[in-house]
Amino acid sequence: MTDQPGDMAQVAIDNANLLIAPAPRPAMVMIFVPALGVRANYYAAFARALNHHGITVVLNELRGHGQSPVTPNRCTDFGYSALINEDLRKAVTHVQAVFRDLPLVLAGHSLGGQLATLFAARYQPKVAGIIQIACGSPYFRGFPPARRRAIYWGSFAIQTVSALMGYFPGRFFGFGGREARRLMNDWSRVARTNLFNFKDDPYDYDGTLAAVGCPVLSFCFPADTYAPLPAVRYFTDKLPQNRVKLRLLNIPEFQDTDHFNWIAQGPLIAPLLAAWLSRATV
């Protein structure tokens, strides 16, 4: 464990790199998974806002980003399955052991929300709830007509570029970072089919999403073009509807909030999450 700015600590467990923001008097612990191409420390201020509400936050660095020792290339490849069944599984095991007396919450932004929810579907861990922020399916039918065409045909282009390069140079295309070829292949297939079935993982994720037993809160934002409300519904509709609270934050404070700048409003969002968790865990 090493010191990080702002009293955060780092724990390295193979590829499951964790940044921990402890609450002074924690009532629960949250594992938070970043969006595609986003470093864990992007959420540091949001984690500290949650700390004020008694939530210790463990930021689960995505493999290939931030403090991760992995660099995606032609010889180093991985997809959804590795992020769920290796990295996130190790993170959950570690947190359950270290914070065994605290209720566990799984949360994530965009791709991170997908990963957290798919993990819960497969392993059915004892968790107090799942929180999804700006998290939808990339399925092309969840977007306006012009965007649908771009996503559908763009998914083939992403796969082609990834095959040629051995990885996806997301910074060049303005989508993600340096991403693993298999991860972008997985994402591209979901974008065309809305099915979370992966070539290297025969598990039926879509079938078990309907059996998720804990409460789920999904927040989306009015100006989010990456996860508009219909795209979010394509994902939340896979879950038990009596367990899901889907909330479009269509109120004045969030009128200009989009897929990434919501982080600046962390102090407004944190109490909303904490209030929901306090009700969900009663």
Please spell the DSSP secondary structure of the chain, one letter per residue.
-EEEGGGEEEEEETTEEEEEE--SS-SEEEEEEPPTT--GGGGHHHHHHHHTTTEEEEEEPPTTSTT-S---SSSS---HHHIIIIIIHHHHHHHHHHTTTS-EEEEEETHHHHHHHHHHHHH----SEEEEES-----GGGS-HHHHHHHHHHHHHHHHHHHHHSEEEHHHHTSSSEEEHHHHHHHHHHHHH----BTTB---HHHHHTT--S-EEEEE-TT-SSS-HHHHHHHHTTS-TTTEEEEE--SGGGTT--TTGGGGGHHHHHHHHHHHHHHHT-
Whether residue 152 lies inside any domain: the answer is no
Give residue 279's pLDDT.
85
| For residues 53-62, average pLDDT | 96
Name residue, tokens 């932004």.
109
Q: Residue 146's pLDDT band (boundaries 50, 70, 90)? A: confident
- Per-residue pLDDT, averaged over 2-7, amounts to 48
Question: Is 148 part of any domain?
Answer: no
Instruction: Give residue 6's pLDDT.
Output: 53
Q: Is residue 182 part of a domain?
A: no
Rounded to an integer, the average pLDDT of 64-70 is: 88
Mean pLDDT to the nearest integer, 213-234:
96
Does the pLDDT of residue 72 top 80, yes or no?
Answer: yes
pLDDT at 181 (0 to 100): 97
Residue numbers of the domain that contains 231: 2-138+202-280
| Spacing of C-alpha 179 from chain mean position | 15
Number of domains in the chain: 1
pLDDT tens-digit profile of 6-51? 578 889 888 778 999 999 999 999 999 999 999 999 999 999 999 9
pLDDT at 74: 95
Percent of the chain exceeding pLDDT 70 equals 97
Average pLDDT in the 206-226 region?
A: 96
Closest CA to 166 of 147, 180, 149: 180
Residue 4 in this model has a pLDDT that exceeds 50 = no
pLDDT of residue 7: 73
Kindly state whether residue 55 falls inside one of the protein's structural domains. Answer: yes
Residue 251 lies in a domain: yes
Residue 1's pLDDT band (boundaries 50, 70, 90)? very low
**Within a domain: 41:** yes
CA distance 136 to 23: 29
63 pLDDT tier (thresholds 50, 70, 90): very high
Q: Render pLDDT for 253-278 as a digit per residue (tens, 0 to 9).
A: 999 999 999 999 999 999 999 999 99
CATH of residue 11: 3.40.50.1820
Residue 34 domain flag: yes
The arithmetic mean of pLDDT across residues 77-104, rounded, is 96
Q: Please report, rounded to a whole number, the percentage of residues in the chain having pLDDT higher than 90.
A: 89
Residue 149 lies in a domain: no
CA angle 4–180–161, rounded 5-degree value: 135
Q: Is 5's pLDDT higher than 50?
A: no
What's the mean per-residue pLDDT of the chain?
94
- pLDDT, residue 136, reads 97
pLDDT of amino acid 259: 96
